[in-house]
Amino acid sequence: TEPLAKLHQGKATCADCHGSSKKISVDDSEKGVNKNCVGCHGTLAEMGKKSQEEVNPHKSHLGDINCTACHHGHTASWAYCLSCHPFDMKIAGGGATPTKATAVTKPRKRAEKADVVVIGAGAAGFTAAITAHDAGAKVVIIEKQPITGGNSMLAAGGMNAAETPFQKEKGIADSVDLMYKDTMTGGGNLNDPALAMVLAKNSAGSVAWLTGLGADLSDVGRMGGASVNRTHRPKGGAAVGAHITEVLRRNADQRNIDIRVNSKVVKILEDKKGRVTGVRVAGKHSGEYSINAKAVIIAAGGFSANPERVAYYRPEYKGMTTSNQPGATGDGIDLGTAVGADLKDMKEIQIHPTVAAGSRTLITEAVRGNGAILVNHEGKRFVNELTTRDKASAAILAQKGQSAYLVFDDGVRKSLKQIDGYFHLNLVQQGATLKDLAAAIKVPADALEATVAGYNKGVDEKNDAEFKRPDLPRALRTAKYYAIEVKPGVHYTMGGLKITTGSEVLAKDGKSIAGLFAAGEGTGGVHGKNRLGGNSISQTITFGRIAGENAAKFAGKT
Ligand code: MEZ
């Protein structure tokens, strides 16, 4: 496993990759070196067209990422996809395990200046950065992973919003109050009511903001715990996260916003009065340096991919899989508490009922929203599939094998583009008839046939007598029939930094920490005990916009 620099020997010089200036040593965006990879090998999209592999690593939901996210010059290469998927992927100069995201060199005296530093390049971070930039602030985004997008990039089902033009077009009668009520009820009323109201009230504006940047959120479906269809996603039911990440990335690039990957904020800097004055960063190439800034926004996500911390707060979730990207370890929360931030609802951790068994792949709730049912190993339904996630997860864990099958037909398959991805990942079992499907998944055929017939009767009569499922979008009568075995997995951490409705981070004395803002999953209070599907992207955009606007204002911009 010789690193790429060695493999290029005799074919290219150091300058071919790094350019003749020595600037690369301080460039953690890695844009310069990537430009040179592309110059010889072609763009990611061009590589994707050439690729013959069944799973095409150059054409993934990660979107347009740096070549150097996987191909490393001086250490063993490693396909980033392997962070979550068990693919048998060969990569030139490849090793068996990832190299550390940040290989920090010596501390430096270097101190840069910005108006606003954003920690984390998921949807909340990008949104905050774009908003602050558009208000006139000089913004730097710092991301510890080798790619941008965070967990938002994996978001599947959609973005909740009430009173949007897309709902109106489809005749869906929704209201801000109803979205607020659903959010509070779904959260067991543990939510901070003011934050939940901000979420609902600004949701349509956030959809408009995203569509103004070029996003398509015209398809509207249903998620568990929602009284009406309000989950917005691209036409045909494509995954929302990869799409909006691409849109946000493109908009940040168009604005020349400074984005540094492989860079970890190790400390938030403050003055003697406790006012935030910037951050200390450990960059892969540039070592440790400071950025002096008037405001800092923590948008670094939750901690579902930190099994020790999850088990600390919820011992019963020890050893459970997660649907999250590997960077979701709660570092932003730690950075906040280190400067005195208060925390809220840390033990409220959501397990998502449908992660494909034996994997980290989330099977979106939209599959159930579009008509799939949950069936146990006896071939029987056991729960209202559109109940909230806490209840659906508990019901699955009470079944034999602590798993269940998500069963659907070709009608459901065709209604939701994302399902194609599950076939691609070999997660789906199928049968030409229900009997064939029952044989494939080893459940009693007569029971499965009776279950589906009973469900279809409920659809015809618009009444699910047994489980009171509130929405019955289609009967399951169109062959083929499909099943995915699912188990609950750690999906979302509702707790985090305590914030105001203006996204200011609160200290333990109840006062805001001057110059410190936060948005997204690393904050607590919006969702209470249980987040409704589709409320996460909604939160990242709404509170990202608020944090960006208020941080820019704090920095003296308007
Ligand atoms: O908001 C989510 O977590 C979500 C919509 C997930 C999903 O099932 O698609």
Residue 512 lies in a domain: yes
Residue 101 lies in a domain: no
**Six-digit token string for 484:** 């995915």
CA distance 345 to 525: 7
Domain identity same for 239 and 359 = no
Per-residue confidence (pLDDT) for residue 12, from 0 to 100:
86
Q: Which domain holds residue 17?
A: 4-83
CB distance 366 to ligand 1 below 6 Å: yes
Per-residue confidence (pLDDT) for residue 22, from 0 to 100:
58
**Six-digit token string for 466:** 């047994």
Please report which helix (H) or strand (E) contains residue 206, including its range. helix 193-212
CB distance 302 to ligand 1 below 6 Å: no
CB distance 388 to ligand 1 below 6 Å: no
Domain identity same for 383 and 431 = yes
Please report which helix (H) or strand (E) contains residue 513, including its range. strand 512-518
Domain identity same for 223 and 238 = yes
Can 249 be counted among the known catalytic residues?
A: no
Domain identity same for 68 and 190 = no
496-498, strands of its sheet edge to edge: 343-344, 496-498, 523-524
**Six-digit token string for 443:** 């459940």
Closest CA to 161 of 147, 150, 172: 172
Domain identity same for 72 and 210 = no
Atom of ligand 1 nearest to the CA of 231: 5
Condensed to tens digits (0 to 9), the pLDDT of residues 161-197 reads: 999 999 999 999 999 999 999 999 999 999 999 999 9
CB distance 549 to ligand 1 below 6 Å: no
CB distance 533 to ligand 1 below 6 Å: yes
Per-residue confidence (pLDDT) for residue 15, from 0 to 100:
84
CB distance 68 to ligand 1 below 6 Å: no
Q: Which residues contact 475 (CB under 8 A, 6 or more apart)?
A: 371, 411, 455, 456, 459, 460
Phi/psi at 153 (5° precision): -65, -20
Q: Which of 362, 521, 539 to mutate to test the pocket of ligand 1 (most atoms within 8 A of CB)?
A: 362
Q: Ligand 1: distance of its center to the CA of 41 in Å?
A: 36
Q: Ligand 1: distance of its center to the CA of 421 in Å?
A: 16
Please give the single-letter amino acid code of residue 315: P
Domain identity same for 226 and 292 = yes
CA distance 162 to 230: 6
* CATH number assigned to the domain comprising residue 48: 1.10.1130.10
Last residue of a domain, one of 441, 464, 490: 490
Residue 516 lies in a domain: yes
Please report which helix (H) or strand (E) contains residue 498, including its range. strand 496-498
DSSP bridge pairs for 262: none
User: Ligand 1 atom 2: the closest Cα is on which residue?
Assistant: 533
**Six-digit token string for 479:** 């062959």
**Six-digit token string for 364:** 């979106």
Domain identity same for 54 and 149 = no
Q: Which of 183, 350, 352, 541 to mutate to test the pocket of ligand 1 (most atoms within 8 A of CB)?
A: 352
CA distance 392 to 353: 6
Whether residue 349 contacts residue 381, with contact meaning beta carbons closer than 8 Å, is answered with no
Give the SS3 label for residue 276. strand
Residue 498 lies in a domain: yes
Q: Which of 536, 538, 539, 540 to mutate to test the pocket of ligand 1 (most atoms within 8 A of CB)?
A: 536
Q: Ligand 1: distance of its center to the CA of 424 in Å?
A: 20
CB distance 238 to ligand 1 below 6 Å: no
Q: Ligand 1: distance of its center to the CA of 497 in Å?
A: 22
CB distance 534 to ligand 1 below 6 Å: yes
Q: What is the dihedral of CA 24, 29, 35, 37, to 10 degrees?
A: 80
Domain identity same for 444 and 321 = no
Domain count, the chain: 3
User: Ligand 1 atom 4: the closest Cα is on which residue?
Assistant: 533
Domain identity same for 197 and 136 = yes
Condensed to tens digits (0 to 9), the pLDDT of residues 541-555 reads: 999 999 999 999 999
Closest CA to 524 of 358, 374, 386, 349: 349
Residue 99 lies in a domain: no
Residue 104 lies in a domain: no
**Six-digit token string for 510:** 């109840």
CB distance 157 to ligand 1 below 6 Å: yes
Domain identity same for 298 and 395 = no
Per-residue confidence (pLDDT) for residue 88, from 0 to 100:
85
Q: Which residues contact 342 (CB under 8 A, 6 or more apart)?
A: 497, 498, 506, 507, 508, 510
Q: Ligand 1: distance of its center to the CA of 287 in Å?
A: 37
Please give the single-letter amino acid code of residue 216: D
CA distance 409 to 416: 12
- Choose, from 309, 389, 531, 545, the residue flagged as catalytic: 389
Closest CA to 265 of 147, 137, 66, 118: 118
Q: Ligand 1: distance of its center to the CA of 242 in Å?
A: 13
DSSP 8-class letter at 511? P
Q: 203-216 burial string, b = 16+ CB within 10 Å, else e? A: bbebbebbbebebb
Atom of ligand 1 nearest to the CA of 157: 9
CA distance 205 to 377: 44
Residue 98 lies in a domain: no
Q: Ligand 1: distance of its center to the CA of 70 in Å?
A: 27
Q: Ligand 1: distance of its center to the CA of 427 in Å?
A: 18
Please report which helix (H) or strand (E) contains residue 265, including its range. strand 263-270
Question: What pTM, to 2 d.p., does this model score?
Answer: 0.94
Q: Which residues contact 394 (CB under 8 A, 6 or more apart)?
A: none
CB distance 524 to ligand 1 below 6 Å: no
Q: How many other CB atoms sit within 10 Å of the CB of residue 316?
A: 10
Closest CA to 182 of 220, 226, 223: 226
Please report which helix (H) or strand (E) contains residue 131, including its range. helix 123-134
Measured between alpha carbons, how far apart are the two ends of the chain, in Å? 52
Between the alpha carbon of residue 192 and those of residues 188, 189, 345, 406, the distances in Å are 11, 8, 10, 34
Q: Which residues contact 177 (CB under 8 A, 6 or more apart)?
A: 200
* CATH number assigned to the domain comprising residue 333: 3.50.50.60
Q: Which residues contact 216 (CB under 8 A, 6 or more apart)?
A: 234, 235, 243
Residue 102 lies in a domain: no
Domain identity same for 471 and 498 = no
Q: What is the dihedral of CA 426, 432, 434, 440, to 10 degrees?
A: -40
CA distance 158 to 175: 18
Residue written as token pair 């068994």: 357
Q: Which of 154, 365, 393, 484 to mutate to test the pocket of ligand 1 (most atoms within 8 A of CB)?
A: 365
DSSP 8-class letter at 516? E
Q: Which residues of the chain have pLDDT under 50?
A: 102
CB distance 223 to ligand 1 below 6 Å: yes
Q: Ligand 1: distance of its center to the CA of 383 in Å?
A: 19
CA distance 39 to 209: 35
Domain identity same for 166 and 126 = yes
Last residue of a domain, one of 32, 65, 83: 83
CB distance 262 to ligand 1 below 6 Å: no
Closest CA to 120 of 151, 90, 156, 163: 151
CB distance 536 to ligand 1 below 6 Å: yes
User: Ligand 1 atom 3: the closest Cα is on which residue?
Assistant: 533
Rg of the Cα atoms in the chain: 24
